Chains A and B, each alone.
Chain A
Amino acid sequence: MPGMGGRMSTVIKAKINKLLDRAEDPSETLEYSYQKQMELLQNVKKGIADVVTSKKRLQLQQQKLEQQVVKLDTQARQALSQGREDLARTALERKQFAQGELQSLDQQVAELESQQASLIEKEQKLRTKIDQFRTKKEVIKAQYSAAEASVKISEAASGVGEEMADVGMAMQRALDKTEDMRARANAMDELEAAGAFDDQLSLSAGQDDIDRELHQLTSQSAVDQDLERLRAELGSGEPPQQSLEAGEPEREREA
């Protein structure tokens, strides 16, 4: 290109040409590119399916986290109403963490959405170009001498080849990003499996789970209420023990 000596674009173009130079004989180019075209279309379809799978997985994590946020909020309220500010604080800290994760998941899902849309668009574009190439090839063979046809078909093949290289690059980049997200999703699943988000397991050593403590508090206060009722029935008039103090030895024994 006269007047176009920009190094960046030149480097990229030179590299793409190198990819395309592998099939130099135009008659071979025809067969080679047709086969390659079909292979690539299959690969793009597979690439799109990969992106969709990753997206669905992230969406599932989103749902779980959303439920977790609601649950932790309820727990915090419950804990506070029981006078357990420490427990409420732990629940709210976990809620903050879950919300942070949710935010980054939202971004990732949005990015996968746009990658999916762009790959679908590129796949359709490539399909159109391939159809065009097949039609054009026949027209050229019918209209030109063998030598001329070779040159013209080769030119058209270069146009398709460049598009193929470009779709390949787009797909590779989309898959690389999807791979990063998948690694992140795996890490989150592992966290979950390790109990970070799990109700029944403790968050870290020595720290009782919020649910269990709350359950203890609730059952403790039910017992207290029962005791209170009994005392009232017996007319002893003795004031009921404070529920938190009553719950203390129980937790220590379990810990």
Chain B
Amino acid sequence: MIVRIATESQYRMPEDDADALNDLDNEAVAAVEAGDEDRFHEVFEQMLELVRRAGEPLGDDELEESDVILPPPDISFVEAAAEFTGEGLIPD
């Protein structure tokens, strides 16, 4: 599967890592909904780390659409919260 970390790069990852990534993604949303900023950053860092470690960066000449897009690494908690309740990083 192809995962993009927004504003960073695209990575090709083994399908086996999809579940782990998915779990972390849901945990991150739960942390945002619980208003737990520290937990959100902790989980989100784990996601980024997993993608960077397990993924192979795509070549510049590859024109692939991503299966999954993660928010930018410097996302703030306020932005993350807006992502699920308001307009978020990309206006609707």
Contact = CB atoms under 8 A, between A and B. Distances in A.
A92 to B, nearest CB: 37
B63 A6 contact: no
A155 B68 contact: no
B25 interface: yes
A91 B61 CA distance: 58
Contacts of A231: none
B61 A129 contact: yes
A19 B4 CA distance: 16
B60 A158 contact: no
B63 A8 contact: no
Given A1-B1, A12-B6, A162-B4, A7 B63 contact: no
Interface residues of A, number: 36
B67 A6 contact: no
The DSSP consensus for interface residues of chain A is: helix
Given A4-B18, A16-B90, A11 B83 contact: yes
A124 B60 CA distance: 9
Contact of A170 (B7, B15, B63, B83): B7
B3 to A, nearest CB: 8
A13 interface: yes
A8 B69 CA distance: 9
A165 B90 CA distance: 10
Given A132-B63, A162-B66, A169-B6, A8 B83 contact: yes
Given A5-B26, A18-B90, 5 more contacts: A1-B67, A6-B68, A8-B28, A159-B62, A169-B7
